[in-house]
Amino acid sequence: MKIIIHRGAGETGGNCIELVSGRSRILLDYGAPPYSPQGEQQQTTLNIPGLYDDKAADPILAILVSHTHADHYGALLARPVNPRIKVFMSEIMEDVIRITAKMPSEPQKLTADIHYFRKGHKFIVGGFVITPFLMDHTAAESFAFLIEAGRKKVIYTGDYREHGIKAAAFKQLLAAKPGPIDALITEGTQAGIEKGPAEPEIMAHIEANLKGRDGPLFVMCAGQDIGLLTSLTQLAKNTRRFLVVDGYAALLLERLKHLAEKQGVELKAPSLETEFLRIVRNKATQRIFQLSEYMETFRRMRPRMYGWDWIRDNLDRLIIPVRANAQHWVGEEIKDFTKATLIYSDWETYSEEEGMDETLQWFRARGMAEVPTPSSHHAYFSTIRKLVENKKPRYIIPINTAHQDKFTQTFGKRAKILNNGEEFTLD
């Protein structure tokens, strides 16, 4: 089996890895590269033989999408791939991507031959046998893949951690007994951090900092950070506050609940039935109203919608997650931030969503009290080490990381550091 990292080696975001076995070829993720703090982005699409045409001697059979952060799927929206390529994701993931693509002023379309997978259910693509494993990450769903072909076995982790609300998923991966692993392709976004607090500890830290404080709580939170939204719902309940989201987040939460129930899964995530949830009438909410396919959901959202008069009258009791460009609607309606508190992670770069860093700087410039938290959406190095010790791969291939040296220092010759475009053949 050959492994080729087309993008994501020695850098964070934009993952795209090719696996080749005999005449079978598949891609693991096809992400858009991250934005810089200046809002600049690299070329989104890649020139991979067979990705956009039929000229390759051996066609690309499939693209496996690990989760719904744009740095893992975003290039699929930039240009339709060859229609002969099957794109595998979960049903929830497809819904999240399609909703997210419709939100900008210039909507995008997911034009691809979509096929669903489910955790633990093997499927076959050409010479590959693939098993998805649900992982702990901030996206609605995130998966690792066990890929078997030609007597070789590879695990691709996607993005993961073990300290979030789905920590049990990581334990299930550790408990799996797939046999000898030839290569572990693991993300290392925050491999520079050996160990840190779990999400419940972080929320307890935030709650302790809120004691004796009056005023609104603004929390840096990407629109798809379902894990953080779930934790903030519990925080609202514990502190007798309201969690105020926009229509985009509310629609994602409701669709997530609906599709999970369809599969017989009960989620901890908030929904329209959550007592402390409120929906603000802003441009994102108005945009949802224009999506005719979600009119029934929007109808059920109406009783939870509140205007700016209610927001201003109850401001001291509100927790408001803010995502990219939130400063535009917050700044129009709220002028006094003297009693406000800003929660953000000083361990995150906020580069996964365009405009997030600009939003953070705007809120910091308002002069409100700040509570930086050591929160992380990705695996600490102790978690990566635990996975390596558990699976005992012959090779560890880091991706989505600027900390390649940490892998060589820890794992020695077993750490295989690849450059973008470099081929590595499993012997």
- Give the DSSP letter of residue 171: H
Give burial (CB, 10 Å; 0-12/13-18/19+) of 347: middle
Q: Which two tokens stand for residue 304?
A: 């939870």
**What's at 341, amino acid-wise?**
T
Tell me what pLDDT residue 377 has: 86
pLDDT digits (tens, 9 = 90+) for 262-318: 877 777 788 888 889 999 998 888 888 888 888 888 899 999 999 999 999 999 999
CATH of the domain at 82: 3.60.15.10
Report the alpha-carbon angle 304-332-212, nearest 5.
Answer: 70
**284 in helix, strand or coil?**
helix
- Sheet containing strand 242-245, edge to edge, reads 305-306, 277-280, 242-245, 318-322, 217-220, 341-345, 369-373
Q: What pTM did the predictor assign?
A: 0.93
- Write down which residue in 373, 390, 414 finishes a domain: 373
- The pLDDT of residue 210 is 81
- Paired strand residues for 187: 399
Q: Are 166 and 260 contained in the same domain?
A: no
Measured from the Cβ of residue 237, the count of other Cβ atoms closer than 10 Å reads: 14
Q: In percent, how much of the chain has pLDDT > 90?
A: 70
Domain boundary among 333, 357, 373: 373
Residue 36 has pLDDT above 70, yes or no: no
**pLDDT(74) > 70:** yes
Please tell me the total count of domains within the chain: 2
Residue 422 has pLDDT above 60, yes or no: yes
Q: Is the predicted pLDDT of residue 41 greater than 70, yes or no?
A: no
**Torsion over CA: 62, 66, 69, 71 (sign):** negative
Looking at the structure, tell me whether residues 248 and 309 fall in a common domain.
yes
**Domain hosting residue 169, numbered range:** 2-193+378-425
φ, ψ for residue 44 (rounded to 5)? -80, -50
